[in-house]
Amino acid sequence: MGTLIVGASVAGVRTAQALRMMGYADAITLLGEEPHLPYDKPPLSKEMLDEDGAPVPLLTEVELAGLGLDLRLGTRAAGLDTARRQVRTEAGEVLDYGDLVIATGVKPRVLPNSRQLEGVHTLRTHDDAVAVRGAMGLTRHLVVIGGGFIGSEVAAAARRRGLTVEIVEPQQIPMAHLFGPEVAVELAQLHELNDVVVHAGVGVADLLGSDHVTAVRLTDGRALDTDLVVVGIGAVPATDWLEGSGLPVEDGVLCDEGLRVVGAEHVFAAGDVARWPCSFADSPVRIEHWTNANEHGALVAASILGEEAPRAQPPYVWSDQYGHRIQIVGTPRAGRPAVVAGSVADGTLVALFADDEHRTVGAVVLDDARTFMRARRAVGARTPVGQVDLGLAAATDSVTGRAASQTQTTRRNH
């Protein structure tokens, strides 16, 4: 009966690829909600917002054809019956499966109590990106709600196109919940240096306008005039179709270390939607990183085939903003900054995060791929932070310290 994969984005497609690479010869059916051929997600908030931006295919049509999939685009799953091993589609079709992979990802969170107004966008899909890209060509000012990765990248893309940009961020410092204030304040300088105003420590009270948005009213009473708003305030797992299925859904589908859904037979989950005991976290986590979706594809395929799981890699994510690249490995928020060297003004920044036992649990690096890879090794090995050799010439005073200067020459690859 083969494998049915619900979700044709990174995790779903990588699962199909991995199954075939491992010699799986049975039928694979891949359901995609959107009408588009599988495309890559990271470019949506980056180069795809440029005037001439185009979607980046996840694989070539030749590669796709080589997988021999029953690819069903524009097909949304609406229900699951694990006893009968059947998925029901929104169109009423019933699909049998031998093994099922849930890879439906996440959907963007929307502002609570906000009315549907034109000019207000979220960014998650191809069509979202096309809409934002088009809207950027019709206006001169953008308000971004949320100073996270998506919001920051959209702000950078808008600046590239000559728009003026304001960001509204409820925290006192954007990203402080992930990196702590010291590192977050550094990274926030990227906005400042690029003339993006960050309204921090303030929320959104309402969106003004009758059909089309005209302003964003803040909780402190101010109103920011604009006819374009992008909301980037996180995402929630796309699990509504699993309601009544009996699967354990608790902010994601709960899985074991092999991505087998807990308490279910022949049901697996992969990517953003899966909550599982990652070996780099103390309790089950849901990770919305692109690399995680890639790794899950290989892991879930190994589980389906009863093969040995691929070696776990430390969680990794990157963000491209204003021509800079921020690379993050591990879980910085599980620790505190123990080593901070360089600064945005210096051109490179390195921060190592250590837990209470002084083990390296995360790192944030700006524009220094080589140092980043050393930090990644330390995170992978949980190296005591005092023993990490970042290869920086200037000694850093661990625990409290910030290097006086970073004299090592870092070679730029690009």
Task: Name the site residues for other proteins (rule: CB under 8 A).
Answer: 14, 17-18, 21, 59, 63, 290-291, 294-295, 297-298, 310, 313, 316, 318, 327, 369-370, 372-374, 376-377, 411, 413
User: Are 127 and 151 contacting, i.e. CB atoms less than 8 angstroms apart?
Assistant: no
| Nearer Cβ to other proteins (173/363) | 363
Nearer to other proteins, 43 or 181 (CB): 43
Place of tokens 């069509």: 127
Q: How far is the CB of 280 from other proteins (least distance, A)?
A: 13
CB of 408 to other proteins, least distance (A): 14
What's the min distance (Å) between Cβ of 173 and other proteins?
27
Reported as half-sphere exposure (CB side, CA atoms, 13 A), residue 212 has a value of 8
Smallest gap, in angstroms, from Cβ of residue 238 to other proteins?
A: 22
Which two three-digit tokens encode residue 73? 């685009």
Q: Is 69 or 80 the residue whose CB approaches other proteins more closely?
A: 69
Q: How far is the CB of 316 from other proteins (least distance, A)?
A: 5
Closest separation in Å from C-beta 297 to other proteins: 6
Burial of 138 (0-12, 13-18, 19+ CB in 10 A): exposed
Are the beta carbons of 3 and 101 closer than 8 angstroms?
Answer: yes
Which C-beta is closer to other proteins: that of 249 or that of 269? 269
CB of 288 to other proteins, least distance (A): 16
Question: Helix (H) and strand (E) counts for the chain?
Answer: 7, 26
Query: How many Cβ atoms sit within 10 Å of the Cβ of residue 172?
Result: 12
Shorter beta-carbon distance to other proteins: residue 236 or 369:
369
**Of 318 and 322, which has the nearer Cβ to other proteins?**
318
CB 170 within 8 Å of CB 325: no
Nearest-approach distance from CB 42 to other proteins, in angstroms = 9
Nearer to other proteins by C-beta: 185 or 369? 369
Token pair recorded at residue 217: 């009213």
With residue 168 as reference, give the H or E element that holds it.
Answer: strand 164-169
Could you identify the residue written with the tokens 């021999």? 68
Name the phi and psi angles at 198, rounded to 5: -105, 115
Query: By C-beta, is 18 or 106 nearer to other proteins?
Result: 18
CA distance 315 to 206: 36
Nearer to other proteins, 59 or 175 (CB): 59
Provide, rounded to whole angstroms, the least separation between the CB of residue 369 and other proteins. Answer: 4
Amino acid type, 81: D
Give the nearest distance from C-beta 321 to other proteins in angstroms. Answer: 16
Residue with Cβ nearer other proteins (116 or 414)? 414
Angle at 245 between CA 36 and CA 111, to 5 degrees: 55
Q: Report the candidate in 307, 304, 300 with the shortest Cα–Cα distance to residue 271.
A: 300
CA distance 71 to 89: 14
Rounded alpha-carbon distances, angstroms, from residue 160 to 80, 153, 166 = 44, 11, 14
Q: Which residues, 6 or more positions from 291, have their beta carbon under 8 angstroms from its beta carbon? A: 313, 315, 316, 317
DSSP-based three-state secondary structure for 261? strand
- Residue labelled with tokens 């992978």: 380
Based on its alpha-carbon atoms, the radius of gyration of the chain, rounded to whole angstroms, reads: 22
Provide the 10 A C-beta neighbour count for residue 232: 25
